[in-house]
């Protein structure tokens, strides 16, 4: 069996080599001719899997994407051709929530406000949004949610129903908006330009807009105009329209601007590879002998000791940044843009991404009696011990 894999998929050899010949190719360079004698294709979000790409695929039996999102894959076409398909739902959800929390904490420090004083609105309560809501609740941060498809399907526990409101009600009630929706082009629950010019204009001064879902869910031109004109809201953007050739002016106006790496933890990537490998084995009736524990290395920073006297939010910032600081990725995007141009620089940031682990890999030791700090830290996802 021949397996073609995006060159940025980690541990592909460890997972897939036991199943056959593994050929690596940069995701944006995968072309129809590459699929002529391929049995399985494993990609990430930058490879569009459609009729054009599959024009010369004669032996293809499986397509897997090591990502949560699937809007880059024509799954209906695959089903029509009898090609098995799998994604990796939830694989990097914890990493995206890490990104959201540390980015908001960084912005709070920069602008002089406290997370505890804000109400966070979460748009999309799936794998990422649902985890974010759970962590916010555990930390004691007020939050509301909007997920119309989930509400209509009756997929909201009764005890949580009061937290789910319409998008416009969410915008009116919340100080922070976090977008975690898939990209849906049409229909009653379309999300393309979900935040259109009208909704962006309606954002109250002081609002923080964070998008770590899909770039096309926000009208970039309208957001740029609001940021450049009134300059009274703040944006944290990890996803963009027209990736990788994103709007440089919008990037410059964002408080934190990163190159679609919110979910780029090593843990999340390895989960994605392993999930797709298991799906491939199941589809082809093969044994899967590699476990996720086989793939995950020990974290470079396993423990942190904090002394007394720190407030909960200061302790939280120290712990989160010890694991991951989004300012690194913000600076890398600017640096690579200057060196290579926007599109090539954007892709270079992703291809050469440095090691990053998740909050759950860190254990924080606190003095006895720091109950509030312990609650914030444990709620954020790190492990807490007390002396």
193 is catalytic: no
214 touches 185 (CB < 8 A): no
306 touches 126 (CB < 8 A): no
| Binding-site residue ranges | 45, 67, 147, 181, 238, 263-264
172 is catalytic: no
| Binding-site residue ranges for NAD(+) | 147, 181, 238, 263
Active-site hit among 44, 180, 214, 330: 214
* CA 79 centroid distance within chain: 27
Phi then psi for residue 86, to 5 deg, are -145, 145
| Binding-site residue ranges for substrate | 45, 67, 264
The C-alpha atoms of residue 182 and residue 71 are separated, in whole angstroms, by 8
| Sheet architecture: strand order including 40-43 | 21-25, 2-6, 40-43, 62-65, 84-86
Six token digits for residue 385 = 């011990």
Active-site hit among 241, 243, 255, 370: 243
The C-alpha atoms of residue 31 and residue 26 are separated, in whole angstroms, by 10
Active-site hit among 118, 226, 251, 260: 260
The C-alpha atoms of residue 344 and residue 227 are separated, in whole angstroms, by 26
The C-alpha atoms of residue 236 and residue 229 are separated, in whole angstroms, by 17
72 is catalytic: no
Catalytic site residues?
214, 243, 260
């Amino acid at each position: 069996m021949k397996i073609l894999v995006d060159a940025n998929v980690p541990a592909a050899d460890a997972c897939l080599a036991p199943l056959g010949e593994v050929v690596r190719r940069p995701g944006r360079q995968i072309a129809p001719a590459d699929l002529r004698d391929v049995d399985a294709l494993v990609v990430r979000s930058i490879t569009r899997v459609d009729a054009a790409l599959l024009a010369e695929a004669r032996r293809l039996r499986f397509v897997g994407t090591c990502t949560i999102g699937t809007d880059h894959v024509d799954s209906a076409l695959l089903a029509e051709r009898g090609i098995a398909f799998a994604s990796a739902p939830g694989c990097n959800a914890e990493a995206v929530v890490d990104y959201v929390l540390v980015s908001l904490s960084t912005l709070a420090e920069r602008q002089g406000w406290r997370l505890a004083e804000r109400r966070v609105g979460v748009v999309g309560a799936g794998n990422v949004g649902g985890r974010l809501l759970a962590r916010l609740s555990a930390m004691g941060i007020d939050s509301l949610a909007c997920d119309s498809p989930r509400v209509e399907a009756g997929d909201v526990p009764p005890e949580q129903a009061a937290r789910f409101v319409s998008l416009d009600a969410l915008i009116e009630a919340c100080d922070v908006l976090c977008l975690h929706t898939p990209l849906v082009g049409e229909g009653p629950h379309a999300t393309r330009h979900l935040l259109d010019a009208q909704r962006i204009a309606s954002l109250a001064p002081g609002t923080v807009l964070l998008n770590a879902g899909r770039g096309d869910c926000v009208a970039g031109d309208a957001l740029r105009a609001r940021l450049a004109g009134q300059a009274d809201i703040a944006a944290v953007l990890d996803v963009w329209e027209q990736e990788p050739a994103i709007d440089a002016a919008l990037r410059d106006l964002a408080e934190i601007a990163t190159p679609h790496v919110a979910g780029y933890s090593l843990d999340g990537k390895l989960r994605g590879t392993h999930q797709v490998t298991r799906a491939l084995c199941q589809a082809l009736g093969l044994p899967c002998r590699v476990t996720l524990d086989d793939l995950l290395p020990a974290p470079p920073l396993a423990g942190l000791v904090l002394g007394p006297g720190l407030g909960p939010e200061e302790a939280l910032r120290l712990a989160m940044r010890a694991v991951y600081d989004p300012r690194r990725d913000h600076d890398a995007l600017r640096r690579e843009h200057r060196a290579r141009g926007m599109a090539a620089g954007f892709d270079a940031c992703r291809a050469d991404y440095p090691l990053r682990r998740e909050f759950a890999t860190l254990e924080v030791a606190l003095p006895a009696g720091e109950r509030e700090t312990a609650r914030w830290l444990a709620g954020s996802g790190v492990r807490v011990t007390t002396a």
